[in-house]
Structure 1
Amino acid sequence: MTVARITTITARSEESFDDAIKLGIARAHETLRNVSGAWVKEQTLDITDGEISHWQVTLEVTFVLDD
Structure 2
Amino acid sequence: KLTLVAWGDDLGRYTFGEAKIAHRFCRTCGIHPFAEDTSESGERSAYVNINCLTGLDPSTLSIFDFDGRSA
Q: TM-score by structure 2 length?
A: 0.24
Q: Which has the higher strand share?
A: 1
Q: Which has the higher helix share?
A: 1
